[in-house]
C-alpha cells in the first residue's frame, strides 16, 4: 500500500508538471508573439492563409478559451497539421518515434551493462591496475562528444573498411525491427556504440563511487563477518543500494534521449525525432516544434516517474517522502 500511494503521488506530480509545461509552451507560441497566425503560417503565407490559421486555432477568442481549446486537442492527440507538409503532426511524430526509441533503448542497455559492470569491477579492486585503466578510459570517452566518436567510427569501420573491400557496417539508414530484426540491429550498432561509450563513463564513475561508499557501511562488515561470500556481499547487499544514484541518472539520460538524439541521428542519417526537430526548426514549422517539445517533456516526466518507482523499490525509506 505504501508503494501504491507513493506511485500515485508521483503520477499526480508528473501531471502537474506537464500542465505547467503546457501553459509555458502555450504562452511562448500563442500569446507572446505579436501575430501568432502569421508566425505559424509562415513568412510567405497569403492573408487568406493567415486568416484561415487564425480561424482554425480560434485566435479571435479570449486567451483562456484558446488555451483550453488547445489543451483539449492536445489531450486527444490533436497537435494540428504541419504547415510545411500538410500532414498531421501526430502522424509525423509516430513515423519517426520508432527510430528514436530503437536508438535510445539499445544504447541505454549497452551503456548500463558497460557502465555498471566497469564501475563494479573498479570498486571491488580500488587503486588496482584495472581500476586505473578503467578510470583512464572513462576520462577519454567522457571528454569526447558522441558525434565525434560517431564520425570516427564511420571513418574507421565504414569508410576505411569499404575502401579495403570489406562491407561490415552500413554508413547510414534505418530498417524497421518488424521488417528485418538483423538488419535493424546492423544499421544501429554504430549509433548505439557512439552513444553508449560516451554515456557509460558517467555510470562507471557513479557506480564506483556509490559502491565504494556502500562497501564501507556497517551492515556490509556484518555480512562479511557472517561468512558470506564476497560476491554475494557485493552483488546482493552492496550493489542494490549503490544503484540508487545510477537509477536517477538513467531516468534523466533516457528521457532526454527519447526526446531526440539530434546530432547522432544526423551523423548516421537516421530519420528519427531529432532529424524531424532539425527540419522543423529550419522550415519554421511551429506545429511540429510544439508537438516535439510536448513529447520530449512527456518522455522526461514519465522517465522520472519510473525512476522514482524503481528508487522506492531499491530503498523503501524513499516511500515515506
For 273-293, write each residue's pLDDT tens digit: 888 888 888 877 778 888 888
Highest mean pLDDT range out of 83-97, 181-195, 214-228, 295-309?
A: 181-195
Alpha helices in the chain (DSSP H): 2-26, 36-41, 47-57, 63-75, 89-124, 129-142, 146-153, 160-163, 181-215, 218-225, 230-232, 239-258, 262-267, 273-282, 286-314
Write down how long the chain is.
321
What is the pTM for the complete model shown? Answer: 0.80
Cell output for 65: 478559451
Q: What are the domain boundaries of the chain?
A: 96-270
Q: CATH top-level class for 96-270?
A: mainly alpha
Question: What is the rounded average pLDDT for all residues in the chain?
Answer: 82
The alpha carbon of residue 179 and the mean position of all alpha carbons in its chain are separated, in whole angstroms, by 24
Band of the pLDDT at 264, cuts 50, 70, 90? confident
Amino acid at each position: 500500500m505504501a508503494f501504491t500511494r507513493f506511485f500515485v503521488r508521483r503520477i499526480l506530480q508528473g501531471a502537474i508538471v506537464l500542465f505547467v509545461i503546457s501553459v509555458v509552451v502555450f504562452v511562448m507560441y500563442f500569446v507572446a508573439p505579436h501575430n501568432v497566425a502569421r508566425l505559424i503560417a509562415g513568412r510567405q503565407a497569403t492573408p487568406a492563409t493567415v486568416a484561415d490559421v487564425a480561424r482554425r486555432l480560434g485566435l479571435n477568442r479570449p486567451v483562456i478559451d484558446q488555451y483550453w481549446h488547445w489543451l483539449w486537442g492536445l489531450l486527444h492527440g490533436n497537435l494540428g497539421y504541419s504547415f510545411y507538409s500538410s500532414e498531421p503532426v501526430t502522424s509525423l511524430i509516430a513515423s519517426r518515434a520508432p527510430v528514436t526509441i530503437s536508438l535510445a533503448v539499445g544504447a541505454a542497455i549497452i551503456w548500463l551493462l558497460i557502465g555498471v559492470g566497469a564501475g563494479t569491477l573498479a570498486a571491488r579492486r580500488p587503486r588496482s591496475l584495472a581500476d586505473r585503466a578503467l578510470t583512464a578510459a572513462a576520462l577519454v570517452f567522457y571528454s569526447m562528444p558522441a558525434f565525434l566518436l560517431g564520425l570516427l567510427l564511420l571513418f574507421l569501420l565504414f569508410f576505411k573498411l569499404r575502401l579495403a573491400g570489406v562491407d561490415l557496417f552500413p554508413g547510414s539508414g534505418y530498417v524497421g525491427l518488424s521488417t528485418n530484426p538483423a538488419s535493424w540491429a546492423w544499421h544501429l550498432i554504430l549509433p548505439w556504440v557512439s552513444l553508449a561509450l560516451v554515456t557509460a563513463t558517467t555510470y562507471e564513475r557513479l557506480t564506483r563511487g556509490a559502491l565504494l561508499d556502500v562497501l564501507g557501511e556497517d551492515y556490509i562488515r556484518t555480512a562479511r563477518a557472517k561468512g558470506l561470500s564476497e560476491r554475494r556481499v557485493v552483488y546482493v547487499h552492496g550493489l542494490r543500494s549503490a544503484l540508487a544514484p545510477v537509477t536517477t541518472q538513467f531516468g534523466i539520460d533516457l528521457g532526454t534521449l527519447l526526446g531526440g538524439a539530434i546530432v547522432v541521428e544526423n551523423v548516421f542519417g537516421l530519420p528519427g525525432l531529432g532529424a524531424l526537430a532539425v527540419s522543423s526548426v529550419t522550415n519554421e514549422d511551429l506545429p511540429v516544434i510544439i508537438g516535439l517539445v510536448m513529447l520530449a517533456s512527456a518522455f522526461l516526466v514519465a522517465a522520472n516517474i519510473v525512476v522514482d518507482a524503481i528508487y522506492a523499490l531499491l530503498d523503501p525509506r524513499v516511500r515515506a517522502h
